[in-house]
Amino acid sequence: MSHDFDKLTHYAKSFSELTPEREALLIKVGEQIKPKLAGITEDFYQHLLTIPQASTFLGGRVESLKKTHTLWMEGLFSGPFDKTYTEHMYKVGDVHVRVNLPVEFMAGAMTLINQRLIGLIVETYGHDKEYCAQILVAINAVTGMSLLVMQQSYQAASLAEELEKFLKISGMSRVLFTNLANAYKDK
Amino acid sequence: MRSDMLVSVLSDLSGTSADIEAAGVISTDGLMMASVLPNSMDEDRVGAMSAAMLSLGDRTAQELVRGELEQVLIKGDSGYVLMTYAGKEAVLTVMAKPNAKLGLIFLDVKRAAGSIAELL
């Protein structure tokens, strides 16, 4: 399936208000923040393991997931947040569908990550309230953008999966389904 | 040319009974090959819907252990829709009036389906 990732990037940014200034700020603070992200990842997974519904998806893979997760978090402070980033997040959403991760896990996980990042930012930049607030808004924007893209991917992948099941059950070929859909397009 | 011959079979079928209001030959992918339809009917929709119904009928017959599908019959208060395979790659759909003599229509449709299968 081909997607217009430029368009999706623009769409996600318009909702999350990830402006060029906020992108620049994330990259600026990245140098100071990135070394601390492994700790956040550690804490994040420790928490996930306490949620029974989440821990069943983690069995035996926690260490490798931690590495991937830290790399993604470093990306939040590295940029660029362009179509390549969007495409990557879209694939991440796809992978989550393939392992049958419930849709609410993404929003839940993003909440946990944001909470930990808020703590870290306040701890690091709390002495300058205005600057601290700007960084928090920028973080909220980039995680919001990432979540929106993953949810789009999730939605598309879930629909594709449902369609596949329907075609299998009904015995309809994909071509027949497409012809049926085309016949009912607005004329 | 083949299309003309298909239309001829459909016209003959329609001519056998005043109860038959419309008929079409459709690929199993849902594309109309030939039809004798009133202007009010959308060829694309009749085609795609017929093939989809027959496909679903096929699966239902298999799933509910009814053997090989012979036909799908839909009855509404304004009449019937009868769908049957015409060979392995086509569907013959016939629409008939509500008071149609089904026995005769089944027979005529079976014959027409055989002729269409030979043509294809």
ipTM reported for the complex, 2 dp: 0.85
Question: Rounded CA gap, B13 and B20, in Å?
Answer: 8
Q: Which pLDDT tens digit goes with each residue over A138-148?
A: 999 999 999 99
Helix, strand, or coil (residue A128): coil
In a domain, A7, yes or no: no
Beta carbons of A183 and B42 less than 8 Å apart: yes
> Chain B 70-89, CB below 8 Å of chain A: which residues?
none
Host domain of residue B58: 2-119
Residue A45 located in a structural domain: yes
Cα distance between residue A124 and residue A128, in whole Å? 9
Cα–Cα distances (Å) from A16 to A9, A108, A155, B46, in that order, read 10, 17, 18, 45
Task: Establish if A6 belongs to a structural domain.
Answer: no
Q: Is residue A1 part of a domain?
A: no
Contact A45, A57 (CB under 8 A): no
CA distance B101 to chain A (A): 30
Q: What is the CATH number of the domain that holds B111?
A: 3.30.450.30
Distance between B48 CA and the closest CA of chain A, angstroms = 5
**Cβ B48–A170 below 8 Å, yes or no?**
no
pLDDT of residue A3: 76
Q: Could you tell me if residue A87 is inside a domain?
A: yes
Give pLDDT, residue A99.
Answer: 83
pLDDT recorded at residue A5: 93
Q: Does A163 touch chain B (CB under 8 A)?
A: no
- Three-class secondary structure of residue B1 per DSSP: coil
Q: Is residue A144 part of a domain?
A: yes
User: Are B69 and B78 a contacting pair, CB within 8 Å?
Assistant: no
Domain count for chain B, please give it. 1
Give a yes or no: residue A43 inside a domain. Answer: yes
Query: What's the rounded mean pLDDT across residues B28-48?
Result: 92
Q: How many structural domains does chain A have?
A: 1
The CATH number assigned to the domain holding A118 equals 1.10.490.10
Token pair 């009814």 is found at B66
Which residues of chain A have a CB within 8 Å of the CB of B31?
179
Query: A121 vs A96, which has greater pLDDT?
Result: A121
Supply the DSSP string of B22-62, one letter for each residue: EEEEEETTS-EEEEE--TTS-HHHHHHHHHHHHHHHHHHHH
- When mean pLDDT is compared across A70-84, A133-147, A150-164, the lowest value belongs to A150-164
| Chain A residues in contact with B51 (beta carbon < 8 A) | 176, 179-180
Q: Quick check: pTM over 0.80?
A: no
Residues of B in contact with A179 (CB under 8 A): 29-31, 44, 47-48, 51
Here the tokens at position A113 are 């990550």
Given this model, what pLDDT does residue A122 score? 97
What pLDDT score does A38 carry?
95
Report yes or no on A136 lying in a domain: yes
Domain that holds residue A50: 12-183
